[in-house]
Structure 1
Amino acid sequence: MDTQAQAQSDRQSDRQGTVHAEGAAAVALDRPSSATREDQRTLDDPAPPRWLLATAAVAAAAFFQLMLLLPCAVVMAVPIFFYGANTTVLVWGGLGFLILAWLVQPDWRSALKTLPRDQASALYAKVDALTDALQAPRVHEIALDDSINAGAFERHRGLSLRPTRRVLVLGLPLLRLLDTAAAEAVIAHELGHFSRRHGRLGHWIYRTRAAWMSWASAEGLGGHDDVESTSPWERAGRNFAAMFLPWFRRASEAHSRRCEFEADAQAARHASPAALGRALLLIERASQRQEESLAAMVRERLALDAEPPSDWVEWTPSLLAQSPVTEAEREALLRHRQPRGSHPPHAARLEALGCDASRLALTPAAFEDCAAARWLSPAQWQALCREHSPWAGASQRLRWAMGHAALAGTDPAQWPVAAMAPPRRDEASRRRRQRRLWAAGEALEHGRVRPHTLTSWQRDALVQALTANPLIGQAWAFDATLPESDGGGAMLCLVMRIDPVGLRERHLTEDDVLDQVQSTADLLWPAGIEWGARLSYLTEGLPPELQARVDATPRLKG
C-alpha cells in the first residue's frame, strides 16, 4: 500500500488525504458565512418552478448513469455478435444492465448515530406532539451529533428497496444552547420540511449534484489534468458537468431558500415566531464564536489534560454568557450570508416572520432551563455527551493523545496562532494543489528531497506526538523540491510507515492516521503551510532512491 503526498493546508474546507466528499439530502438550519459578489447574485436568483427543477434533476441523474454504463453496455452486447439476438441473451443482458444501473446509482451513507425511543422517551414524546400539532408525518428516528445545528432528511428515498425513513438530526450543543421554546421552534421548522415534502425533490437534487460533482472533480485524482490522460468519453462528461452544474447549483439553491421560508412559515403556525427568530440568531452567534475561539480552547486543554474533556458541550454557552451581544454584533448577524446560498439571510427570514431583531435576547439558556435538561435526564445527558464527544472514537482519542504529547510542558509563547477556517477554494485552486502534491510525491519517489526546515521546537513536539501514536512505526521529515512547472519551491513531506496489524485491530484506516497527523500539524505550524504525507506499511519496502535518503536521515520515530 502506498499513498502519495496528501494536501494538508486547508483541512477545514475539504480535508486532504481523501478524494471524496460526504453529504446528505438534508435540509438544515446550517450556519451561514460571508459571501462573495457571485454569491450575492446567487442569492438574488429566483426559484425555478418545481417541475422544471425536478425534470432537470431526474434527467441529469439518468444521463449520469447512462454515461457510466454505456461503455459497459457495449461490452455486454458483444455476446449478441456471437450468439445472435435470441431471447435468452437479451433477457440476461438486460437484467445485467439493470443490476449495474442499480449498483452505480448515486447514494450517500450517514455515520449519524440514531437514538432509540426507549432511551429518550421524553424527547420523542415532545417531537411526536409537535408533529401532530403541525399535521406532519411522524419521525421514525432522532439522530444526535456534536454540532450547533439541526436538520431533517429521509433515508432510502428514491430507487431503494427499503422503505423511506424520516430522520430528525439534533446537535447536543444546540439542545444545551436553547431554551425549550426556541428548541421547539427549531424542531417545528425541521418538521415543516417533512410536512411540505421537501425531501422528495431534495433527494434528487442532492444525488444529481453529488454525481456530477464527483465526475467533474475526478480530473484531479491523478494529480494532474493532462488532457491526454483521459478518454474522450470522460472529457465529454466533464464538459457537460461544467455547463450543467453552475445553473443547477443556482436553481437548486434558490429552491432551497424557498423551502426555508416555507418551513419557517409552518413552524410559526405552532411555535412563536420570536422564538424561531431568536434561535436563528443565537445559533449563528454561537457558531461564529465557536469558530473564532474553539481552536485556542482545545489547544489549551490539550496542553493540560491527557484525557479528552467531558465538559466540551459547555464551552460555547460559557463564551456567550461572558460577553453580552452588542448592537454591532447583532447587525452583523443579520447581514451574514451563506456563500453557497441554500439558506436566506437572517434579516430576510426575520422580516418574513415579522420579528424585530432588536427585541430578541441572544443569550444562552441556563442549564436548568435548556432543552437538554428538560427533555433528557441527567444520566442520559452525561452518557450522550460522552458518546457524541468529538473525541469519542478510537481515531479521535489518538488525535487527542498526539496533541497532548506535542504540547504538554511546552511554552505557549512558541505556539503558532490558532488557525481559522480557510476560505473556500475554487476548482482551479484544488487542481493546482493536486498537481503540487503529485509533484511532491514524484520528488519523494526519486529522492529529490533535502533535510526538513522545522524549528527545533516543532521537531521535538512532532517527535513526541508520533511517539504517542502506536500505529506509526517509523517516520522521517523532508523538504521535497518541486519543479518550476508546478510553482517551484519546496513542500514539507512526512514519510511514515504504519502498522497494518494495529490498523486492523482498531478498525481504522490510513485516512484515520492522516487525520491524526493533520490535527497535530494544525498545532505545530501556522495555517497555510503546504505539507504532505507518504504512507506505507511496515511490511513494505520503499523505492530505492527514497530508501537511500531515509537511511541517511535521522528518524523522527522508529
Structure 2
Amino acid sequence: MQASASSAAPASTFNSRQRLSLTLLALASELIFVTVVILPIAPFVMLQAAIWGAGFAAVFGVTAFTFLWWLVQPSPGTVGRHAVRREEAPALFEMVDGLCTNAAAPRIHRIVLDNELNAAAYQTGGFLSLLGSRRTLILGVPLLRMLNLDEVKAVIAHELGHFSRNHGRLGHWIYRVRAKWDHYLHMQGNDSFVDGGLKAIASWFVPYFVSRSSSWSRQCEFEADTVAARASSARHLTDALARLEFISFLLARKLPTQLSSLRMQSAQAPGNFWSITAELAETNRSAMPQALAEGANRPRRAQDTHPALRERATALGLLVEPPPIESSPCAGDILLGKEWARVLTACNEDWQKNTQVSWRFDHLRMRWLVTGGVHALFSQQTAAQTELATAIVQEQLQGDDASLALLSAAATRHPEMAMAHFYLGLALLERGDDAGIQELRQSIRLDKRIALGAQNVICGYLASHGDQKAAREAVIRRRYTHERLTPLYEQLWEALLCRSLRAIAPGAVPLLAEVLAGEPLTDGCWAVQLDLPDATGLSHTVNILVMRIDHEQAHKADLGEDDLRARYQNYLQAVIPPDQLAMVHTVYTSEPLNPRLLKQLQAVPGSEIIAPARPLNLDIIRIDSI
C-alpha cells in the first residue's frame, strides 16, 4: 500500500556539520594532490628561474601546473557515448523539460546516451568543479531497452532530483577525489618515490574517505527519491529499481550459462546482446521473487553509494513488489522514435566489438578443453585429477548447478587437492557466493604456489562485492605475496638470458598457436619456462611468453603496451596450471629483439609458437661487440 513519500524518513541523515567535515576532508586531499603535482615541476621551474629569470619561470610554472592538474583529473568515461540533439528525440526532451519543472530542477544542458544499464547526472565546470556549471543527464541505452516509459520517467526524475537538491557540485567533486585516490590504492607496484608515497597515503585515507563520502551519497539518493516521488511516481520508481535488480540478477546468474552455449557454437560474438537479455527476462519471470529476496538480504557495505532497494522503498512508504509484466514498447522506442533502432544497433555493435577478442579466445579455449586440452592443467594424470578435469570441462560448458555439484564433490572427496578447492572457489565467486573465498584460501594453505592467482581473484571479487575492510585485508595479503615473489622477479631477466630453458607443456601450444595466429598484431611468439625460488626458497615454475608485436597494427587498434601485456598474460594463464606463474615480455617490430634472448629462445626445441613474418634484428648495432 502506498503512503505519502514524505511520511517515511530516510534511514540515516547527513547534517550540515558532517557535510562541512566531508568538504574539508576532500579539500585536504586536493591540497595533497596539488603538492604532488607541483613537486615534479619544481626543479624545472627553479632551473628556468636561474636561466631566464623569475618572470619567465612563473609563467612556465603556472602553465605546467595547469596542464598537469588537468591531466590528473578523472572524468566520466566517454566510451560508447554520444549526445542527443533535441530534433532527434523531441519526446525525450519534452519529458525532461516537464520533469525539470515538476522537480524544481535547473535546466539540463545536454542529454547523453551510453552503453550502461544505468542513468546518471553530473555537473562540471570551473576550478575543482565548484565554480560554474554544466549539467549533463546520462541515460543508458540498455536502461531504455529494459524499462517501460513510466519507469524511465521516474528514473530521470530521480536524477534531476540530484540537481534540485544541489548534489551535483559536491557530488561530482567527491567522485573525482575518490577516483584519483582509488587509482593509487590499487596500484600494484611503486614506480617512483612519489607513487609509493601516494600509495601509502591512499592505504589509510581511501577507506576512511569512502566510508564518510558513501554515507553522504546514500543520503543524497534518499533525497533524490523523494523528489522523484513528487515529480513522477514513487511506485514507478520502486518498480524501476526492482526491475533493475532482476536484470542484474539475470546478468550474473542466468546469462553466463546461455552465453556459454553460444560461445561454444561460434567464435563470433553475438550482435544482439541486449535482445538476448530481454528474451532472458521474458523466459525467467519466475526467478523475480528470488532476485528480489537476494537483493533484500544483501548486507550493506561501508562503501555502498546507494541504499538497498528495501531501504529506498521503505523511505517512500512502499513495499517491494515484482513489477508488472510488460507488453508495451520499451521506453527507448517511445522516447527516441525512429532513432531508436539505430541507437540500439550501435549499442549492440559496441558490445560485440568490445567483447570479440575475449569471446573468440573463450570459444577456442572451450573447444581446447573439450578435446583434451584440460589435461595440460595437470602435471600428472591420476584418478582424482581426471575427476576434477571432467568437472572443469562441465563448468566451462554449462556453468549450472550440476557442474557446481561436480566441483564440490571433487573437493569433498579429495580435500588434500589444492586445485580442486581453487576451481570450486572460482565457480562459487562467479555465482556471487562468498563461500568461494574460503575455498580459494584453503587452496593457498595447501599449496603456497597458488597464492598469487587465488588472491588476484579474491581481490577482484571483494572490490565489487565485499566490504571495505575485507577488501583492504585482501589487498594486504596479496602485497605480502608480491613481496615474497620479489626476489624471483628480480632474477627473472638474468635467468632468462643465462639459464637453461625448456618449452612449455606441449598440450598448451595448440591453443596459443590458434589464438595468436588469428590476431594481426602478432609477428612472432615464443613460450618457455624455468624454475625459480621465491624469498622462502619455494620453487615456482615460471612460464614466459615473448611476444613480438606489429607496432603499426597496435597503433591502429589504439592498444598500449600495458593493454597488450594484460591480454597475453590472460592467454598464458588460461593454459597453465594455477600453481604456475605467467610472465609476458613484449617487443615491437620497430625495435630489436635482444640478441641474447633470441639465441636462448632458438635453442629451445618447440618454443616457437608463431614464426616472425618480418626479419629479426636487421640494421642494428651490437653494442657489446664494439
Q: TM-score range by the shorter chain?
A: 0.7 to 0.9
Tell me: CA distance 1:444–1:288, structure 2 relative to 1, closer, same or farther (3 Å): farther
Larger Rg computed on CA atoms: 2
Q: Does 1:451 align with 2:414?
A: no
Uncovered stretches (5+) of structure 2, i.e. residues with no partner? 1-10, 372-389, 400-426, 433-456, 463-470, 612-626
Distance 2:109 2:196 in 1: 43
Q: Aligned pair in 2 of structure 1 residues 406, 238: CA closer, same or farther (>3 Å)?
A: closer
Matches within 5 A, 1:40-439: 49-70=18-39, 72-73=41-42, 76-77=45-46, 89-105=53-69, 106-109=72-75, 110-112=77-79, 113-117=81-85, 118-156=87-125, 158-159=127-128, 164-216=133-185, 220-222=189-191, 231=193, 237-323=198-284, 324-325=286-287, 327-337=289-299, 339=301, 340-357=303-320, 360-362=321-323, 365-366=326-327, 368-377=328-337, 380-389=339-348, 391=350, 396-404=355-363, 411=370, 414=393, 417=396, 420=430, 422=457, 423-424=461-462, 426=472, 427-432=475-480, 436=485, 439=488
Alignment partners' CA distance in 2, 1:541 and 1:66: 40
The percent of aligned pairs where both chains have the same amino acid is 27
The answer on whether the counterparts of 2:41 and 2:65 sit within 8 Å (CA) in structure 1 is: no
Distance 2:578 2:247 in 1: 23
Letter in 2 for 1:212: W
**1:294: Cα distance to partner?**
3.7
Instruction: Report the CA distance between 1:260 and its aligned residue.
Output: 0.9
Contact 1:473 1:538 in 2 (8 A): yes
After TM superposition, the structure 1 stretch with the greater mean CA deviation from structure 2, 283-292 or 392-401, is 392-401
The answer to whether the 8 A contact 2:246-2:288 is kept is: no
Provide the secondary structure at the position in 2 that maps to 1:303. Answer: helix
SS at match of 1:49: helix
Structure 2: distance between partners of 1:158 and 1:398: 40
**1:494 paired residue among 538, 542, 545:** 545
Secondary structure at the counterpart of residue 166 of structure 1: strand
Task: Give the residue type in structure 2 aligned to 1:312.
Answer: F
CA distance 1:241–1:326, change in 2 (3 Å):
closer
C-alpha displacement at 1:184, in angstroms? Answer: 1.2
**Aligned AA for 1:336?**
R
Match of 1:468 in 2: 518
When residues 322 and 66 of structure 1 are mapped into structure 2, their CA distance, relative to the original with a 3 A threshold, is same
2:465 aligns with: none
1:477 corresponds in structure 2 to 527
What code does the residue aligned with 1:274 have? R
Query: What is the distance in 2 between the residues matched to 1:441 and 1:416?
Result: 37
| Greater displacement, 385-394 / 266-275 | 385-394
The one-letter amino acid of 2:348's match is S
Change (3 A) 1:95 1:544: same
For structure 1, the 5+ residue unaligned runs are 1-42, 223-229
Worse-matched range after superposition: 400-409 or 193-202 = 400-409
Residue 272 of structure 1: how far off its partner (Å) = 1.7
Give the secondary structure class of the aligned counterpart of 2:525.
strand
Partner of 2:609: 556
Alpha-carbon distance, 1:201 to partner:
1.0
**Cα offset for 1:262?**
1.0
Shift of the alpha carbon at 1:518?
6.4
Cα pair distance change 1:512/1:220, threshold 3 Å: closer
1:111 maps to a residue whose letter is: T
CA distance in 2, matches of 1:344, 1:171: 21
Kept after mapping to 1: 8 A contact 2:270/2:352: no
Distance 1:362 1:529 in 2: 49
Q: 1:488 to 1:134 in 2, by over 3 A?
A: farther
Is the contact made by 1:444 and 1:546 (CA closer than 8 Å) also made in structure 2? no
8 Å Cα contact 1:497/1:535 also seen in 2: yes
Deviations 1:210-256 (A, max 9, x none): 3334455557144xxxxxxx64x766555544443332121111111
Residues 1:536 and 2:598 are matched in the alignment:
no
Aligned length: 497
Cα offset for 1:313? 0.3
Aligned partners of 2:56, 2:88: CA distance in 1, in Å? 48
What is the distance in 2 between the residues matched to 1:200 and 1:235? 31
User: How far has the Cα of 1:349 moved from its partner?
Assistant: 1.1
Name the structure 1 match of 2:622.
none
Counterpart residue type for residue 481 of structure 1: D
SS at match of 1:128: helix
| 8 A contact 2:524–2:549 mirrored in 1 | yes
Letter of the structure 1 residue corresponding to residue 59 of structure 2? L
Q: State the SS of the aligned residue for 1:259.
A: helix
Q: Matches of residues 24-39 of structure 1 in structure 2 within 5 Å?
A: none
Q: What is the distance in 2 between the residues matched to 1:333 and 1:182?
A: 19
- Which AA in structure 2 matches 1:350? A
**Residue aligned with 2:78, SS:** coil
Aligned partner letter, 2:57: G
Distance 1:527 1:432 in 2: 18
Q: Which amino acid aligns with 2:207?
A: P
Question: CA RMSD for the aligned pairs?
Answer: 3.7
Cα contact 2:190–2:196 (8 A) shared by 1: no
Structure 1, residues 81-115: CA drift from partner, whole Å, max 9, x if none?
Answer: x69xxxx9444333333323322324124224123
What secondary structure does 1:446 align onto?
helix
Verify the 8 A CA contact 1:178 1:279 in the aligned structure 2: yes
Distance (Å, rounded) in 2 between the aligned partners of 1:274 and 1:305: 42
Structure 1 residue 62: Cα displacement:
1.7
Structure 1: distance between partners of 2:234 and 2:580: 46
Structure 1 residues 189, 57: closer, same or farther in 2, change over 3 A? Answer: same
Secondary structure at the aligned position of 1:489 is classed as strand
How far the C-alpha of 1:516 sits from its partner, in A, is 5.0
| Alpha-carbon shift at residue 77 of structure 1 (Å) | 3.9
Contact 2:154 2:232 in 1 (8 A): yes
When the two structures are superposed, what TM-score results if normalisation uses the length of structure 2? 0.69
Query: How far has the Cα of 1:257 moved from its partner?
Result: 0.9
